[in-house]
């Protein structure tokens, strides 16, 4: 069955993201000129508001009393969308407990979209996670895209267009939704945070969150920001004294995030060894710690440690039911060996 908007409305923020404004205007200008595509692919990282952009486009398309680029928020369609009950909006996600969107999910959509639409505004099919499609459901979707019903639009979200069959991509207009510039992200975060954080802390949060202001805001307002500092402090202590100090903090549900943070601090150590300027660093709030690590681990071993970190990270991601603690112990022992090689030479 198609998922209605109510199933994901908790993921839709009421915030307005100014960096999406140009994309919104450009897409709607096609509709105003009656030259729009029937299918759109949105490629973007998580956390820059792409869901909000699509949601705004859907509200405009289905609104019966729109005013140029604005929906009215008051007509029956707008109210139904807001409450998650619009009969012509289908949101397709995998069923609970399933790995993929099944071919039956797509066939159910086909059965529905050829019926008359509510108030004749058209029908919209929204796939927030294109990677959930398997080969069978992808081919079923392709058949609809080849001969879509009149006044039917498809909105497909992905991280990269390679998540989709090339034959699907070729039948859609592709939009690459980029994060805002660091300057724009910093401006937005300063307003949201009421200027309560130092500039270097906000910039660090932006950089380690792939320039996603939304994710940076969430990080700065969570306990994870304190955990990040704790992780780095334990890391330095562990490489000086006992590498297994790291096991307790790493062996949690946040292990992949912590691996990412260790990767970024090690990248910064490489930049320090190569004498790059500080404004090219990710963790500009941890420069003293970067300096300290650079004295303990030489450049060649940093590269080797990063190779191991990425290898064991991939093991945790790709091997089902793997023993996380055992993987972490093997990683830490490998890390210790590389540090000891350097220390023994000195």
Q: What is residue 151's predicted lDDT score, i.e. its pLDDT?
A: 87
CB 105 within 8 A of CB 136: no
Six-digit token string for 281: 């660093």
pLDDT at 101 exceeding the cut of 60: yes
Average pLDDT, the chain: 89
Q: What is residue 250's predicted lDDT score, i.e. its pLDDT?
A: 97
Q: What is residue 148's predicted lDDT score, i.e. its pLDDT?
A: 86
Q: What is the pTM of this model?
A: 0.86
| Helix/strand/coil percent split, the chain, to 5 | 60, 10, 30
- Categorize the per-residue pLDDT at 4 as very low, low, confident or very high, splitting at 50, 70 and 90: very low
Q: What is residue 341's predicted lDDT score, i.e. its pLDDT?
A: 58
CB 101 within 8 A of CB 92: yes
Provide the total of helices (H) and of strands (E) in the chain, helices listed first.
15, 5
Name which of 280, 278, 297, 298 is nearest 288 in CA terms.
278
- Categorize the per-residue pLDDT at 116 as very low, low, confident or very high, splitting at 50, 70 and 90: low
CB 273 within 8 A of CB 295: no
How far apart (Å, rounded) are the C-alpha atoms in residues 245 and 50?
A: 40
According to DSSP, the β-strands at 39-43 and 123-127 are unpaired
- In the sheet with 152-158, reading across from the earlier edge strand, the strands are 89-91, 123-127, 152-158, 39-43, 173-176
């Amino acid at each position: 069955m198609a998922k209605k908007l109510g199933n994901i409305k908790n993921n839709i923020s009421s915030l307005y993201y100014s960096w999406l404004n140009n994309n919104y205007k450009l897409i709607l200008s096609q509709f105003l000129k009656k030259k729009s595509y029937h299918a759109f692919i949105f490629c973007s990282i998580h956390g820059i508001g792409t869901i909000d952009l699509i949601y705004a486009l859907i509200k405009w398309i289905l609104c019966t009393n729109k005013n140029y680029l604005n929906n009215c928020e008051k007509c029956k369609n707008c109210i139904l969308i807001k409450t998650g009950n619009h009969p012509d909006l289908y949101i397709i996600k995998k069923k609970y407990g399933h790995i993929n969107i099944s071919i039956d999910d797509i066939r159910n959509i086909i059965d529905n979209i050829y019926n008359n639409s509510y108030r004749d505004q058209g029908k919209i099919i929204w796939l927030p996670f294109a990677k959930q499609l398997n080969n069978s459901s992808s081919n079923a979707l392709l058949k609809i895209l080849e001969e879509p019903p009149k006044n039917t639009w498809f909105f497909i979200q992905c991280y990269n267009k390679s998540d989709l069959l090339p034959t699907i991509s070729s039948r859609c207009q592709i939009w690459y939704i980029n994060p805002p510039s660091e300057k724009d992200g910093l401006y937005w975060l300063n307003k949201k945070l009421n200027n309560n954080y130092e500039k270097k802390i906000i910039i660090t949060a932006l950089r380690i969150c792939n320039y996603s202001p939304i994710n940076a805001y969430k990080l700065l307002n969570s306990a994870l920001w304190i955990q990040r500092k704790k992780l780095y402090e334990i890391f330095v202590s562990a490489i000086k004294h006992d590498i297994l100090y790291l096991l307790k903090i790493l062996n949690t549900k946040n292990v992949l995030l912590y691996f990412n943070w260790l990767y970024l601090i090690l990248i910064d150590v490489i930049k320090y060894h190569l004498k790059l300027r500080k404004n090219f660093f990710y963790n500009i709030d941890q420069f003293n710690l970067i300096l300290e690590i650079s004295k303990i681990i030489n450049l060649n071993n940093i590269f080797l440690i990063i190779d191991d970190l990425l290898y064991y990270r991939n093991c945790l991601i790709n091997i089902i039911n793997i023993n996380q603690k055992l993987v972490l112990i093997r990683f830490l022992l490998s890390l210790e060996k590389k540090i000891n090689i350097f220390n023994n030479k000195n």
